[in-house]
Amino acid sequence: RRSLIVLWCAVGLILLIVCVNLSNLLLARAASRSKEFAMRSALGASRGRLIRQLLTESVTLSMAGAALGLIFALIGTFYLAHQGSIALPLLSSVTVDGSALAWTLLVALAAAITFGLAPGLRMSRGNLQEALKDGGHGATEGRKHERLRSILVIAEVALACVLLIGAGLLLRSFLRVLDVDLGFQPSHAYTVKVDYDDHNKIEERSAILQNVISRIMAIPSVEAAGISDNLPMERNRSWGTFRAKGAEIRQDAGGDAIVYVVTPGYFRAMGAQLRGRDFTWQDDKHREDVVVITESMARQLWPNQDAIGQVAVMGEDNLRVIGVVSDMHETSVENAPGAQAYFSTLQRWPEGADLVIRSSVPPEQLAGSVMHTLREINPNQPAVEFRPIQQVVDHAVSPRRFFVALVSAFASLGLILASLGIYGVISYSVTRQTQEIGIRMALGASAGRVQADVLGRTVRLAGAGIVVGVGASLLLARGIASLLFHVDPNDPPTFANMILLLCVVAVVAGYLPARRASRIDPMVALRNN
């Protein structure tokens, strides 16, 4: 829910930036047509008629944009609906339906009114004499129009600043997620589902699994192999409460643990750190029940003792702890790993068989040998996917990656729109002030001085927008604090980097008009006027 709210806010900010940008451009366009509107008003056109004309133009623009947006939406939703690598509920059912079309129409009309009303109101209340003064060729534009467009640019930069800082915080958080110690090494580890029939007999299962692992280990470049009935960050289950033998049953003495049924070699194949001993093929139903537990579970059950050699109790079963393995993230990367217990596949009934292989050979080279070996063992082995373990991890973090990608895309779009807004206003201002700049250069102003003046105005507009944007970001960052992972909502490096990026883009956007202004020929400017 929080993620969707943040995405809605990001979309809303983008829409506001677009509205502000187009409002600014339409205001500049309407100002250049001030003589036209003044003449029409003198000929009897009412104020409402002038406003309706500008609204009609803005609605036409908005509807054209909405139609183009729907085409991209259809393509985008079709693509997302067929992305099995993104772990989002009901993603495959996403489509552009009647509700989406109605909402698009409503948003398009609202946007048209938003960015079309301000120019209409501004131009319709002018009078003929003011319009003729401001509308003559070469005259500098009235201060009121200049001030309104400057305010719109400041608002645009502020909105872009909020988007950039929000995206920066989420991106930094995502990078922290990728740096989490998973408790195992997903690189160079691969998995494939194995199909076998042991007729519900442990002896047959032991022979089949030993044969599978020994044959796989015989493949050149295979460093380790093992089988588990479940993999971390996929399916998981619990069989009940664990406690230390002899300890009182109390809430803090033990708890439900995620359980796995594994073969010897599984921990090495996963790249997990094991202290104590691994399972052996002799750990069957004729021997003492044994278990390997995680470090957090060991600390929980025996806080001041070595867990190896101790006896844990699960229901009526006494389980000898033979090893302690590193904590593995069993449900997600972001949640802290909980208690986990591993049983021998010859002492408990597994729910399936996921073969895990560790090898430095690329998967496309290893897959053929592995599948050929499995089909030699079992001709009925189905054609299943040979997956890198990293793919399992990527699937677990895919919702956050998708979320960050969307917000980053919105922030990038906002930055582009803000730069276009700055460029449009400064460029139009230079065009309107051609005569003034020509006079200044004729009186001795250097090209560098003219550039500095134009860039100075650009920096002032961008600076005012950044100040407003940073203030709003400090407040809004608290709203996304629950979506951040080990990142402070007021993270100074993120704020500094995003502000620097926005400043650089603003200067670049203002440099082109500034350079054009410095190349104005005073004689040509005065002659054309």
Q: In this predicted structure, what is the pLDDT of residue 298?
A: 92
Task: Specify whether the CB–CB gap between 283 and 321 falls below 8 A.
Answer: no
Q: Is the model more confident about 158 or about 236?
A: 158
Q: Is the model more confident about 236 or about 211?
A: 211
Dihedral of CA 28/32/38/39: which sign? Answer: negative
Q: In this predicted structure, what is the pLDDT of residue 197?
A: 85
Give the model's confidence band at 140: pLDDT under 50 very low, under 70 low, under 90 confident, else very high: very low
DSSP letter at 383 equals: -
Span 325-341, pLDDT tens digits? 999 988 888 888 888 99
Task: Specify whether the CB–CB gap between 176 and 485 falls below 8 A.
Answer: yes
Q: At what angle do helices 47-81 and 98-124 cross, to 10 degrees?
A: 150
Q: In this predicted structure, what is the pLDDT of residue 517?
A: 80
Question: With b meaning 16 or more CB within 10 Å and e meaning fewer, what string describes 174-211?
Answer: beebeebebbbbbebbbbbbbebebeeebeebbebbee
Is the pTM higher than 0.85? The answer reads: no
- Calculate mean pLDDT across residues 258-266: 94
120's tokens? 């209409």
Q: What type of residue sits at position 446?
A: S
Place of tokens 């995502």: 174
Span 3-19, pLDDT tens digits? 888 888 888 889 888 88
DSSP letter at 86 equals: S
Q: In this predicted structure, what is the pLDDT of residue 327?
A: 92
Q: In this predicted structure, what is the pLDDT of residue 131?
A: 55
Angle at 134 between CA 128 and CA 140, to 5 degrees: 175
User: Does residue 515 have a pLDDT over 50?
Assistant: yes
Task: Specify whether the CB–CB gap between 161 and 469 falls below 8 A.
Answer: yes
Dihedral of CA 29/33/38/39: which sign? Answer: negative
CA atoms within 13 A on the CB side of 271: 17
Percent of the chain whose pLDDT exceeds 90: 32
Mean pLDDT of the chain: 85
Q: What is the DSSP string of 431-460?
A: HHTHHHHHHHHHTT--HHHHHHHHHHHHHH
